[in-house]
Amino acid sequence: MIPAAVLVCLLPGCVRAVRAEGASLPLPTVGLSYALAKPDTRVSVKDVEDYLTASGMIRTRKGDTAKTTEDAQTKKTQKQAKSDTQVQTSQPAASGTTVNAAEVNEILDTALTQKQQKEADATVSQTALLIEETAAAAGREIDESYSKEVLAVKDAVAAAPEGTSAEEAVTAAKEEVAYAQRAEEAGMTVEELRAAEEEAEKAAARAKAEEELGAKRAEAEAAVAEEELCVALVSDFINIRSEPSTEGEIVGKLYANGVGKVLSEPDDFGWMKISSGEVVGYIKAEYVATGQYAHELAGEVEEYRATVNTETLRVRVAPDLDSDVITLIGQGEELVSLEELDGWLKVDTPDGEGFISSDFADVDVFFPEAKSKAQEEAEIAEARRAEEEKIKAQKAQAEADRKKREAEAAKNAAERQRLEAEAQRAQQAADAAKASYDAAAEAAAAAGAGGAGSGKGQEVVNYACQFIGNPYVWGGSSLTNGTDCSGFTMSVYAHFGVSLPHYDASQRSCGTAVASLAEARPGDLICYNGHVGIYMGNGQIVHASNPRTGITTGNASYRPIVAIRRIFN
């Protein structure tokens, strides 16, 4: 064990390295008392006195006869007066005389005032200077062999948190060193010893919990063992009556394997008084087991219940504080205890089986008990309410399902009507397109039969009429997916190897001019301001009209004609 006076010299803020002239001396790790404890340490008395005087630690040398008024005021106690006398009655030593460590210690003990001695004890820097410089002056060095314990204390104190007092730091350091010594004696590291002790504490806590739980169970079982019990030996139930007679009112029922306490022995007619649960009354003794046999039967049907004795208790998946929480149980709630395991109770909850700490539950023994007439009526009423609620819920679900089916049927009917309407409109559009195509083909054929057009121009008309009914798209040139007026004429003529510009005004200069509509032939371009179409003959054109009608046919004179151009002569 390291002395407390030694440890206090290790406080952070006190320790500082000292370099004496002519020698490099290490600071004594354990302070003044360690250095002075070495018998072979010899220093000059004069050097010690010089240092003490220069540092203000003493005001009177050995042999001095005069005292200052201040010396007299500060050395008031009897011990101090005796110390002063010892110092002054000694003969001064000649320069170079050496003394051992004990003598130097005597100088310090007798020459310092109480205040100075207290400061020297608390401040290692002053005592270190004294030891090192006086030893250096004597040509000696302080012993450098430091113990492991001292180094451990030094490190522990140096690592003390900021704001820790000197006393707290030294106390903590002593505890750390003592713990390290214990670990070394046990052949362990500090971490291994700490882990072993923590495990031992846990094991002790578990053992204590198991002991307490066992004591609770034993107490409950002992209480039961002292009572005289009866157990129903019937397949259904026994009536409990208000009087020892079949004329007595039925106040409750003790069901098969139900347990009661015997309050009076059977009378001459075999009626015995019992209590079970909330029911007190009379039953026929012939229908129950009593005595030791009753206790044996009760042991087979008994169950343990844990009553929570804390505000909120966690039920965990496994008997481990790190396992997941299944649910929370409030104070006063009862749970059936299924098993005991190292300070844990396996319990049955509405959310499933789990584990609770036995520290937060009181365990008692329970048996199947009789039900009073009021309890049975309440249970019947509750069962009836539950059944009614169940039927009500089923009806509500059936109604909801019916409405859902009706809504889905209405939705399907509306979708079917929409699809049928779209199909009808598509069919009408197709019929109109076919009629328009047939009319155009007929007109083209009539015009061709009259010898008014070339065969090539008629081919152009026939080809163009295939796309009647397809959409109009501004800027487009697809005969199937959408085109505008100039894109339509351009794409039709491209099929015959003729390249036309995609702009109606530019197409007015293509091919050769035709003087009038009367001279026009099938295949000619009929140009309008901002529009163009292909002449079909018989005063009709086929063209990409607008977004509403798409590619269609119409009267060539429906708007003023600005030019007629023949592509094939």
Strands (E), 82-194: 98-100
**Residues paired with 403 in a beta bridge:** none
CB contact at 8 A, 142 and 35: yes
Q: Quick check: is 14 catalytic?
A: no
Instruction: Mark 266-304 as b/e (b = at least 16 C-beta within 10 Å).
Output: beeeebbbbebbebbbbbbbeebbbeeebbebbeeeeeb
Given 14, 510, 527, 543, the catalytic residue: 543
**Residues paired with 340 in a beta bridge:** 345
CB contact at 8 A, 513 and 563: yes
Distance (Å, whole) CA 59 – CA 49: 10
Q: For the chain, report the end-to-end CA distance as a whole number of angstroms.
A: 129
44 C-beta neighbours (distance < 10 Å), count: 22
Q: Quick one: tokens of 225?
A: 């063992």
Distance (Å, whole) CA 160 – CA 181: 19
Q: Quick check: is 543 catalytic?
A: yes
Write out the DSSP string of 40-99. Answer: T-EEEHHHHHHHHHHTTS-S--TT-----HHHHHH--SHHHHHHHHHHHHSPPPPTT-EE
Q: Quick check: is 531 catalytic?
A: yes
Given 9, 14, 230, 485, the catalytic residue: 485
Opening angle at CA 379, ends 374 and 385, nearest 5: 125
Instruction: Mark 93-126 as b/e (b = at least 16 C-beta within 10 Å).
Output: beeeeebebeebbbbbebbbbeebbeebbebbbb
User: Is residue 163 helix, strand or coil?
Assistant: coil
CB contact at 8 A, 344 and 356: yes
Active site residues: 485, 531, 543
